[in-house]
Structure 1
C-alpha cells in the first residue's frame, strides 16, 4: 500500500515537472530564434564606415567629448573586423581599438596607445574593463555573436517609449564581466532597444538604451545614439553615430595589429 502510494506520488511529481521542462525548453528555443533572426538582419553589409562622438558624463554632471572614425568589414563565416580611431581632442588623438570578431569563439581585441608607442592586447579577463574611461566595457564594443551566449525568452512587453518588444535573457558562455544581459528587441524589426547588464554578483550594473535608428540601402538598420548609464557610479556615456557609408572598400588586410602602429 505504501509502495503503491509512493509510486503514484513519484509519478505525479514527474508529470508535474514535464510542463515546466517543456516551457523552459520552448523559452530557450524562442530566445535562440529571436537572437538568430536579429543577428541575420544585421549581416551581409560587406563593409561600412561611420563617424561618431563619445560624450562622458560624470556623476556630478560634468561632460567631456571625444570624436572618432570607425570602419567595419565582414571577413566571411560570420567573422568581421572593426577599427575605431579617435581623432579629437589631441590628448587621445590616434588612440585606436581593433576588434576581430569570430563566430563560435571569443573575439580578439588590441588597443593602440600612440603616446606609449605600444599595442596592447586585451586579455579575456581585461575585456570587462572600461574602454578609455567610458561606461562601455571592451566587451561592449564587440559584435555580440549569438554563439557566445545562451538565449532565453522572458516575455513580450513594452520597451523604451512603449515600443512592443521581445525580452530575451542572454548569458555568456565564456569569461565576461556580466552574469546576464537582458535585451529588448522591438518586435517589428528585431532591433535592440535596451540592454540591462547584471554584474557577476547579479546586481543591476548598467542600462544601455539605443535610439535614432535609420534604414540604409533599404535593408540595414543602424542606430544614431547609444546611452549607457552606470547605476552604481552615477556616470554615463553617450555614443552618437552619423555619416554611415556602405561599400567603401575597407580592406580587412589592413585591420591588423601590425597596422595599428601606422595610424597617423
Structure 2
C-alpha cells in the first residue's frame, strides 16, 4: 500500500511539474521583462581588443527611456577619445517595423539615418552591429527550449531562437542561456548560419543595483575575426527623469537641450 501511494504521489508530482513547465517563448518573454525600469542612465567604458590583444578604450554615456506609447528609445554619446568624442547614436523603437536608427558624426556635422540594409555593419568599429544595439520583438522568432543545465554554477534554461523571416535577419540562429533565478540571459551564441558560430555574448559580472539585476561587465566576442568588445558599467542609475528632448534628431545634431 505504501509503495502504491508513493507511485501515485510521484505521478501527480510529475504531471504538476509538466503543467507548470515554461516553454521557449515564455522564457524569452520573462527574460525581456526581467528589467522593469522607467529609465536608465549609465557611464560605460568600451574596450576593443584585437587578435594581438591590443586594446583601445572609449568612454560613452547611455540613456534609455520609454516614450508616451511605451516604446523604447535610447541615446549613446561618445566622450573619449578625441577621435570619437561628440559622436551620438539614437535608436527609436517602432511598432511592427524595424527601429529607426540615426547617427551624428562630428566630422560630417550632420545626422545620418542608418538604413535597414546596414543593420549588420559594425557599430563604431566594435563587435556590436547596429542591429545588436536595437530591440527585437519576441514574436519575430520561434523559441524552443532545448534543455536545462548549469552555466557558471547557475541553473539555466537553454533556448534556441530562429527568425521567422530568415531573409531579413542578421543571425540565422541564436542560443541563449537564461538563468532560472532571475531570467537574465548570461550567454548568447549568435550563428551566421545554422552551423557557423559568428559571435558569443557573455555577461561576465552581474550585480543587483537598486533592486535591478545589472550586467556590470558584458563581452561580445567575434569568433571569426578574433576580436572582442567589452562594456564595463562605471556608473548606472535607474528611474531618473530624462528629458524627452534627449531622444530627438535635434539633440542628436546640436548636443543641446
TM-score (norm 2): 0.85
CA distance in 2, matches of 1:105, 1:141: 16
Q: Counterpart in 2 of 1:189?
A: 182
Which of these residues, 79, 87, 91, is aligned with residue 95 of structure 1?
87
CA distance in 2, matches of 1:202, 1:123: 28
Q: Counterpart in 2 of 1:64?
A: 56
Q: Counterpart in 2 of 1:257?
A: 249
Q: How has the CA–CA distance of structure 1 residues 144 and 215 changed in structure 2, closer, same or farther, with 3 Å as cutoff?
A: farther
Gaps (5+ residues) in structure 2?
A: 1-18
Q: Counterpart in 2 of 1:115?
A: 107
How do 1:72-87 residues align onto structure 2 when only pairs under 5 Å count?
72-87=64-79
Q: Counterpart in 1 of 2:154?
A: 163
Shift of 1:52: 0.3
Gaps (5+ residues) in structure 1?
A: 1-25
Q: Counterpart in 2 of 1:241?
A: 233
Q: How has the CA–CA distance of structure 1 residues 176 and 234 changed in structure 2, closer, same or farther, with 3 Å as cutoff?
A: same
CA distance in 2, matches of 1:105, 1:38: 22
Q: Work out whether residues 73 and 251 of structure 1, in 8 Å CA contact, stay in contact via their aligned partners in 2.
A: no
Q: Work out whether residues 158 and 165 of structure 1, in 8 Å CA contact, stay in contact via their aligned partners in 2.
A: yes
Shift of 1:70: 0.6
Q: Work out whether residues 173 and 194 of structure 2, in 8 Å CA contact, stay in contact via their aligned partners in 1.
A: no
CA distance in 1, matches of 2:238, 2:208: 12
| Structure 1 vs Structure 2 CA RMSD | 1.9
Deviation track 1:220-239 (CA, whole Å, cap 9, x = no partner) reads 21110111111111111111
Moved over 6 A (4+): none
CA distance in 2, matches of 1:35, 1:201: 20
Q: Work out whether residues 75 and 246 of structure 2, in 8 Å CA contact, stay in contact via their aligned partners in 1.
A: no
Q: Work out whether residues 226 and 238 of structure 1, in 8 Å CA contact, stay in contact via their aligned partners in 2.
A: yes
Q: Give the length in aligned residue pairs.
A: 234
How do 1:1-264 residues align onto structure 2 when only pairs under 5 Å count?
30-43=23-36, 45-159=37-151, 161-174=152-165, 175-200=168-193, 202-218=195-211, 220-263=212-255
TM-score (norm 1): 0.83
Shift of 1:171: 2.2
Q: How has the CA–CA distance of structure 1 residues 147 and 250 changed in structure 2, closer, same or farther, with 3 Å as cutoff?
A: farther
